[in-house]
Structure 1
């Protein structure tokens, strides 16, 4: 059983290191996530907090338990309608912030291709803090739950269907770069260029106020003028 002070210390680490607004999740969910991470680790509860600083794999395991990866292709379709108009006839560098398992980033690339942009005329980067999410995105294999947007039907030029799964085409996969990174850290942004388009809608609700404010500053600093 983890002591209350240790539990609070874990919450503080999540808030400090990834900007998590612990109030955006129920205490039951957080407690279960931390307890599961502790059990999978197998060490003593009294050593868990310090171990989070020493072990990247343990930290990633905790993030896996608390991260919300609910996403699907063309989610919030009006955003992609606007994107279609915005990138029409112009080169574009685009970023999906908190891309989870990649559906949003691939959707951005599909829009660019659908308006006639050629390879080299656009770039899509998808970034997420969770290494397993990035690995999933790079594989590009999805189940039916990733196609929940009522207005979108998978297109054969972008997907092939086999044994209950949809696989993104090689052309689509090659048009998106996936990176593991913490968008709440200054180090991440120090290595990024400016972008013409940044999608960040689904991440913000899970960040505390200070983290949101800092992220907005970084987003603004890395958007091309106009």
Structure 2
């Protein structure tokens, strides 16, 4: 069977080997979801059960179930003619997703500020310092940034916000990787995270929420730039 360029093999064989060992829908879902988020499976790439089944070395049943889960998460969309494609990356969707994210994570930062202890504040500061040390490495910046946001979410202990964020996490992560690429080699990402950490350390919930929302709005602007949107004109 001819190979399809839109479903190319991953750069490492460990995830693929795991899928073949488990042969379950969840393993297939996890692998395909990761490929969609990191861009290995490009926006609008066509996905078919026979090709994926052949490439992953599993039957069509777990592939079908995995695609159903991805469709429920809106990471793939069904085509009128049958089959599915990876959901497109669109500036309009980006702004909507990030507006929701800014509101939710702003609330989490507010709650975290009210609950943070000195040890928590120190831990956030250390994460920012570590991010500064690796700011030229996109993958590490993304990893530490996700850890920073996860620590704030844990501190906030707001299960409703956490659940709503979980529902849009895949979409956030797709656009987040675009934003990170625009920031590589700059200190912007570090400066914004440091501002959030300092606002939480100050014990001012309003400042913590504002700093978080400004950080996420800046990330949205960077991702939109990566998608070709012109930056807004300077004020005045």
| TM-score (structure 1 length as normaliser) | 0.26
Which has the larger strand fraction? Answer: 1
| TM-score (structure 2 length as normaliser) | 0.25
Which has the larger helix fraction? Answer: 2
